[in-house]
Amino acid sequence: MPEPTDSQPRLRGVDIIKDNLTRLPARPGVYRMFGDDDTVLYVGKAKSLKARVSSYTRIGGQTQRIAAMIMATARMEFVVTETETEALLLEASLIKSLKPRYNILLRDDKSFPYILIRRDHDAPQVLKYRGSKKDRGDYFGPFASANAVTRTIDTLQKAFLLRTCEDSVYSTRQRPCMLHQIKRCSAPCVGLIQPEDYSALADQAADFLRGKATDLQTDLAEQMSQAAEDMEFERAAGLRDRIRALAHVRAQQDINPDGIEEADIFSIAMEGGLSAVQVFFIRAGQNWGATVHFPRHEKGESDGEILAAFLVQFYDKRPPPRLILTNQGPSDRELIAEALELKADRKVEIRTPQRGEKRSLVEQASRNAAEALSRKLAESASQARLLKEVAKAFDLEDPPGRIEIYDNSHIQGSNMVGGMVVAGPDGFEKGQYRKFNIKDTSLEPGDDYGMMRGVMRRRFARALKEREEGNGANWPDLVLIDGGLGQLSAVIEAIGDLGLSPADINLVSIAKGVERNAGREQFFQPERAPFRLPENAPVLYYLQRLRDEAHRWAIGAHRAKRSADIKKNPLDEIEGIGPSRKKALLQYFGSAKGVSRAKLADLKEVEGVSAALAERIYGHFNSG
């Protein structure tokens, strides 16, 4: 559509929708509705774009939410697809990336961990794994949490004595490590087990994760009896410990998935305009944990609509199982199943069981969803009261929807890191946390004010750019700084360099009290005398939690950076040495220290190292 001239008023609301309708085909596709600031208001899919969009040309009969969305629409964009199934998949992907205000949105959409038994090494390694499946080996999952993976790997160590160490550690061992001493590893690194026997252990672990635990326990029991008859009591004791480990993990099942080999179970509970979706993972006939989600949606959405949007977004980047069980029938059940089958390239069934074992599992998930929602409602009410108290304490017009808390960490000026954590009505928003690596060489070691200025310039330069692009959602309602008047002055100076002032951002710094006692903190605000809050005030405890979380985050970022520096290989600093040459040098000389002590003639003998590179390496370690 051409841009309107001064004599042509800009169309909006129903008028802009009617104007687009004249050019739309009666074909499947996805549409996007944008507001005045070019933020995405809504993403929808349609079997017929023309028919679906025409439903927005009438305000009467719409819900209040949809009517408000229509009136706020300033422009629309469309993508035509071949099928409604393709439109559904595209819609889910766009909703997750754009996070429109009026869509049902899956929050906390982190990736789930897997267990990987690596097969690209003579001694397979068992480890926790996230990301694309690029390493060769056996993948098992998803698990609901990192803790569920850790517990299972702990069992695999006890029952199958598999190594968890990195290849670099494995290749340099000269004697068994502590894990072997406590009977968690068979020590293939030093040859205490034959390669074929170790591979058999890895195969048994894979069978266990595939659901063959009963057969495996029976086989181990027979081996234990035979070892006892042969008077190999030490071997029999080892087999007994492995059987106990297997029995323990099977006894730890939170739910009983008898008769179900592979399924995800979803149950939704709704109350007070909020909803909770409980998810159980069952793989290989075993419970691999549970997780709960709280989708974002407007009041008035039905449970079927919420569950339908949730399912499509949930499986946008992860493979669906063959069976999905729900406590309520999702809208467009057949279409969603067809879309998931397209992604998985196999049959996917979505069922709402009415009786039997499957119904019992769904009901248990429903009870968990209801309990999680009750806790969430109680926390939300408490959080709302605290935010009202924060607004009162700092003379804010409204309770803050987004609080950003900042702290810095370093040791004598080294590995300087700034940390930002975010809190709001739903508690800490961990997906919004940020780390700032401070690389300004002009700063004096330990210059906390200079570090804070650098962090704030970077943060609000980006925030200003986002706001200019129409995304003002991440603009803070309150900025809380760990420090005193000096840190506050540094922040005011930093935002001043960007053309901002304390009138644009609510700034507060919190300084530890006398003798650094919690409860005696002083607060500083621009154009306000320093003040304290009552020592037993709940809002003070809340602000302390915010400050402590920022401190924890900054300290963690600093320690990670320091550890990375400690582990950094000096060979990485030499130009011309990539991964393959570094590997060749380490294999030839055993370690970076061995490379540093090598003679020039020996360096030239390493495969892939030219005479010029050998001289560069020798010069790096022997500059004198």
Average pLDDT rounded to a whole number, residues 378-384: 84
Residues 58-71 have pLDDT tens digits of 877 777 788 888 98
Q: What is the DSSP string of 334-377?
A: HHHHHHHHHHHTS--EEE---SHHHHHHHHHHHHHHHHHHHHHH
Give dist(CA 510, CA 481) in Å, integer. Answer: 6
> Comparing 579 with 295, which gets the higher pLDDT?
295
Q: How confident is the model at residue 506 (pLDDT cuts 50, 70, 90)?
A: very high
Q: What is the DSSP string of 27-91?
A: S-EEEEEE-TTS-EEEEEEESSHHHHHHGGG--TT--HHHHHHHHH--EEEEEE-SSHHHHHHHH
Q: 543: buried, middle or exposed (CB in 10 Å: 19+, 13-18, 0-12)?
A: buried
8 A C-beta contact, residue 161 and residue 201: yes
8 A C-beta contact, residue 374 and residue 294: no
Q: How confident is the model at residue 277 (pLDDT cuts 50, 70, 90)?
A: very high
Q: Which domains can be identified in the chain, with CATH numbers?
A: 14-98 (3.40.1440.10), 114-251 (no CATH), 263-375 (3.30.420.10), 403-563 (3.30.420.340), 570-621 (1.10.150.20)
Q: What pLDDT score does 516 carry?
A: 52
Token couple for 194: 């034959």
8 A C-beta contact, residue 323 and residue 249: no
**Amino acid symbol at 188:** P
8 A C-beta contact, residue 92 and residue 77: no
Closest to 425 in 3D by CA, of 404, 398, 402, 405 = 402
Q: What pLDDT score does 5 carry?
A: 47
Average pLDDT rounded to a whole number, residues 469-491: 85
Closest to 109 in 3D by CA, of 272, 300, 271, 318 = 318
8 A C-beta contact, residue 339 and residue 312: yes
Average pLDDT rounded to a whole number, residues 136-151: 82
Closest to 365 in 3D by CA, of 441, 293, 414, 421 = 293
- Is residue 276 helix, strand or coil? strand
Give dist(CA 90, CA 43) in Å, integer. Answer: 10
8 A C-beta contact, residue 551 and residue 407: yes
Q: 573: buried, middle or exposed (CB in 10 Å: 19+, 13-18, 0-12)?
A: exposed
Average pLDDT rounded to a whole number, residues 602-612: 87
Give dist(CA 72, CA 68) in Å, integer. Answer: 6
**Amino acid symbol at 247:** A
Residue with tokens 């020590």: 187
Q: What pLDDT score does 379 carry?
A: 80
**Beta partners for residue 292, in sequence order:** 278
Token couple for 216: 């495996």
Report CA Rg, the chain: 30
- Is residue 264 helix, strand or coil? strand
Quick count: other Cβ atoms within 10 Å of Cβ 576?
11
Most distant CA atoms of the chain, gap in Å: 101
Residues 382-399 have pLDDT tens digits of 888 999 999 999 999 999
Average pLDDT over the chain reads 84
Give dist(CA 401, CA 390) in Å, integer. Answer: 11
Residue with tokens 């009977």: 183
Quick count: other Cβ atoms within 10 Å of Cβ 201?
20
Average pLDDT rounded to a whole number, residues 299-314: 90
What's the number of CA atoms in the CB half-sphere (13 Å) around residue 195? 4
> Comparing 320 with 132, which gets the higher pLDDT?
320
Q: How confident is the model at residue 7 (pLDDT cuts 50, 70, 90)?
A: very low
Q: How confident is the model at residue 133 (pLDDT cuts 50, 70, 90)?
A: confident
Give dist(CA 283, CA 143) in Å, integer. Answer: 9
Residue with tokens 């590179």: 613
Q: Is the peptide bond before 195 cis (omega within 30 degrees of 0)?
A: no
The helix (H) or strand (E) run that includes residue 550 is helix 538-567
8 A C-beta contact, residue 41 and residue 71: no
Q: What pLDDT score does 206 carry?
A: 87
The helix (H) or strand (E) run that includes residue 564 is helix 538-567
Cβ burial 259-277 (10 Å sphere, 16+ → b, else e): ebeebbbbbbbbeeebbbb
Average pLDDT rounded to a whole number, residues 474-498: 91
Closest to 292 in 3D by CA, of 277, 314, 275 = 277
Closest to 160 in 3D by CA, of 207, 218, 210 = 207
Give dist(CA 539, CA 345) in Å, integer. Answer: 53
Classify 191 in phi/psi space as left (phi over 0), alpha (psi -120 to 50) or beta.
left
Q: What pLDDT score does 496 carry?
A: 92
Q: What pLDDT score does 402 carry?
A: 92
